[in-house]
Copies of this chain bind each other. A is one copy, B any other.
Amino acid sequence: MENNLVAAVRAGEKPAVGPADALEALRAAVGDDLQRVNTLIVGRMESQVPLIPQLAGHLVAAGGKRLRPMLTLASARLCGYRGDAHIGLACAVEFIHTATLLHDDVVDESDLRRGLPTANAVWSNQASVLVGDFLFSRAFQLMVESGSLEVLRILADAAATIAEGEVGQLITANEPETAEAAYLEIIRGKTAALFAAATRVGAVIADRPPHEAEALDAYGLNLGIAFQLVDDVLDYSAHQSVLGKTIGDDFREGKITLPVILAFGRGSDEERAFWRRTLERQEQHEGDLAHAIHLMERHGALGETIDRARAHTDAACLALETLPNRPERQILADVAAFCVDRAY
C-alpha cells in the first residue's frame, strides 16, 4: 500500500501546493512563534563588543528562509507542545546553522551567499571565525536554558556530526573518484544532522514517546539529505541564479557533489580527464562550466540526483505517517515536496 502522504505529494509529480506555497503554509502554521524567534535572534546577538551585532546584523539582514527554526517550531506543534522552550531551541538551531555558514565562508571562499556579499567579504576571515564561535556558544546557552539534558545531547551530537561532515568534505574536495557512499555520509553530517536534530527536539520537549522522536529524526534526516542533493543540482542549473547564488560555485571550488560523481563514473576517458583537470587540478578555462553541465546532462547526472532526492523526500513523508494527524503533518510533507520541486 502506498503511503498516503507520499502519494499526495507525488500526485502527478505536481504537489497540491506550489513550492512557494509550501513555505508560506509552514510560515502560517508556526504563526507568531517565528516572530518570537526573530526577536530572540536579534536579542541574543547583542554583545558589548559592537562588531558582533554589526556582523550578526549583516546576517540577519540577509535573512535566509529560517527553514530550520520553522521545522523545530512546526515539529513541536505537531507533537502538541504547549510551552515556550521551542522558541529558544529554534533560535539555537538557527545560530548553529549561521555559525556553520560563517565558518564555511572562510573555508569555501564563496562569493555570494543569499545574494548579498558574504560576511567575510565585508569583514575579515578572522571575524567570521570568531563571530561563528560566539553564535555557537550562544546556541549552547539557549540549549541550557531549555533545561533538558536530552535536548542538549541531541544538539551537541549534531554539532559534532556537522563538524565531522565538514572535515570529510574538505578531504574529498577535488577528488572526483569519491565514492557515492562517502559523499552521502558527508552530506548526512554537514547538512542532514542539523535538520534531524531540529525536528527531533520538537518531540523531546513535548515529552512524546521515543518512536515519535525517531520518526521526526528520520523525517529531518531525509529532508536534509534531499535538500542538499537539490542544492548540489542547483549549482549547475541556470535556473538557480534567481535564488541569489552564483552558479558554478561548487565547480570553481572543485567541490565534489553527486552530479559530478555520477558524470565522472559514467564518463569516457576523455571526460574523466576533463573532470580531473578542472576539479582535481583546478585548471579551469572559459567554457569549462558550460561543458561540465553538458556532460552532466549527457549522462543524466542532474536528473538522477533529483530522483535520489525524491527518494529521500518519500522516506521523509513515510516517517511522518506514524505521527499524530494534525495539520502540521501535511505541511511538513508539503515542505519535503517543495525541497525537490525548487529544482525545476
Contacts and interface: CB of A to CB of B under 8 A. Distances in A.
Interface string A148-166: 0100110011011011101
B134 A163 contact: yes
Interface residues of A, number: 42
Interface in A46-98: 47-52
Nearest to A157: B141
A156 B144 contact: yes
Interface in A132-155: 133-134, 136-138, 140-141, 143-144, 147, 149, 152-153
Consensus secondary structure, chain A interface? helix
B129 A49 contact: no
Interface stretch (A16-24, A167-175, A222-230, A239-247): A167-175
Given A140-B140, A152-B152, A167-B51, A106 B134 contact: no
B159 A103 contact: no
B170 A130 contact: yes
A7 interface: no
A106 to B, nearest CB: 6
Given A107-B126, A107-B130, A126-B106, A160 B144 contact: no
